[in-house]
Amino acid sequence: MDKRRVVVTGMGIVAPNGIGKDAFWDALIHGRSGIGKITQFDASSFPSRIAGEIKDFNPAGYMDSKSVRRTGRFAHFAVASAKMAVLDAKIEEEHLNDNRAGIYIGSVTGGTDVFEREHIKLQEKGIPKMSPFGSAAYCHNSAATEISIELSCKGQVTTISSACTCGLDAIGAAYWDVQAGKIDTAITGGADGSVTPLTLGSLCAAGIVSTRNGDPAKASRPFDAERDGGIVSEGAGIVILEEMGHALGRNAFIYGEITGYSNSTEASNLFETDEKGSGFVEQMKKVLAQAFLEPVDVGYICAHAPSDVIRDRAETFAIKEVFGDYAYKIPVSSIKSMTGNPLASAGPMQLIASLMTMKNGIIPPTINYEFPDPECDLDYVPNEARRNNVGAVLINSYGFGGSNTSLIISEFNGVLE
Q: Which of 249, 273, 301 marks a domain boundary?
A: 249
Q: Which of 249, 274, 304 marks a domain boundary?
A: 249
Does position 74 have pLDDT exceeding 50, yes or no? yes
Q: d(Cα 50, Cα 158) in Å, to the nearest integer?
A: 32
Across 382-403, average pLDDT: 93
Q: d(Cα 61, Cα 54) in Å, to the nearest integer?
A: 15
- How many Cβ atoms from other residues are within 10 Å of residue 45's Cβ? 8
For the chain, report the end-to-end CA distance as a whole number of angstroms: 16
The answer as to whether 270 is a domain residue is yes
The answer as to whether 267 is a domain residue is yes
Do 218 and 322 belong together in one domain? no
Do 276 and 181 belong together in one domain? no
The pLDDT tens digits of the residues spanning 77-94 come to: 999 999 999 999 999 888
Which residues are CB-contacts of 356 (< 8 A; sequence separation ≥ 6)? 21, 25, 28, 255, 362
Q: d(Cα 162, Cα 81) in Å, to the nearest integer?
A: 21
Q: d(Cα 336, Cα 303) in Å, to the nearest integer?
A: 9
Strand segments (E) across 174-329: 185-192, 235-243, 256-265, 300-302
Q: d(Cα 229, Cα 203) in Å, to the nearest integer?
A: 10
Does position 270 have pLDDT exceeding 70, yes or no? no
The pLDDT tens digits of the residues spanning 324-346 come to: 999 999 999 999 999 999 999 99
Q: Which of 207, 224, 249 marks a domain boundary?
A: 249
Does position 271 have pLDDT exceeding 70, yes or no? no
Instruction: Output the pLDDT for position 232.
Output: 97
Q: Is the dihedral of CA 320, 307, 260, 360 positive or negative?
A: negative
Q: What percent of the chain has pLDDT over 70?
A: 97
The answer as to whether 220 is a domain residue is yes
Closest by Cα among 209, 229, 196, 221 to 47: 209
Do 333 and 393 belong together in one domain? yes
Query: What is the tally of structural domains in the chain?
Result: 2
- Residue type at 359? K
In this structure, what CATH number is given to the domain that contains residue 346?
3.40.47.10
Do 80 and 114 belong together in one domain? yes
Does position 113 have pLDDT exceeding 60, yes or no? yes
Closest by Cα among 255, 264, 257, 300 to 165: 264
Long-range contacts of 32-36 (CB under 8 A, 24+ apart): 32/338, 33/216, 33/217, 33/218, 33/220, 33/337, 33/338, 33/367, 33/368, 34/233, 34/338, 34/339, 34/340, 35/216, 35/217, 35/219, 35/220, 35/231, 35/233, 35/338, 35/340, 36/216, 36/217
Does position 366 have pLDDT exceeding 70, yes or no? yes
Does position 26 have pLDDT exceeding 90, yes or no? yes
Which residues are CB-contacts of 344 (< 8 A; sequence separation ≥ 6)? 106, 107, 108, 109, 161, 164, 166, 167, 170, 190, 191, 192
Instruction: Output the pLDDT for position 137.
Output: 82
Q: Which of 151-160, 186-195, 397-406 has the lowest mean pLDDT?
A: 397-406
β-strands 403-410, 256-265 pairing: antiparallel
Do 219 and 288 belong together in one domain? no
The answer as to whether 301 is a domain residue is yes
Helix boundaries (H) for 30-101 = 65-70, 73-89
Does position 276 have pLDDT exceeding 80, yes or no? no
Q: pTM of this prediction?
A: 0.96
Helix boundaries (H) for 126-277 = 134-137, 142-151, 166-180, 197-206, 244-249
Question: Which position has the higher pLDDT, 276 or 412?
Answer: 412
Do 245 and 274 belong together in one domain? no
Does position 417 have pLDDT exceeding 50, yes or no? no
Do 208 and 340 belong together in one domain? no
Does position 255 have pLDDT exceeding 70, yes or no? yes
Q: d(Cα 285, Cα 408) in Å, to the nearest integer?
A: 12
Q: d(Cα 76, Cα 82) in Å, to the nearest integer?
A: 10
Do 229 and 343 belong together in one domain? no
Domain that holds residue 18: 6-249
Do 91 and 237 belong together in one domain? yes
Q: Which of 135-144, 240-249, 329-338 has the lowest mean pLDDT?
A: 135-144
Q: Which of 120-129, 164-173, 388-397 has the lowest mean pLDDT?
A: 120-129
Across 139-153, average pLDDT: 93
The answer as to whether 416 is a domain residue is no
Across 296-317, average pLDDT: 96
Do 245 and 265 belong together in one domain? no
CB 106 within 8 A of CB 168: yes
Do 220 and 126 belong together in one domain? yes
Tally the residues of the chain.
Answer: 417
The answer as to whether 1 is a domain residue is no
The answer as to whether 255 is a domain residue is no
The answer as to whether 118 is a domain residue is yes
Do 99 and 238 belong together in one domain? yes
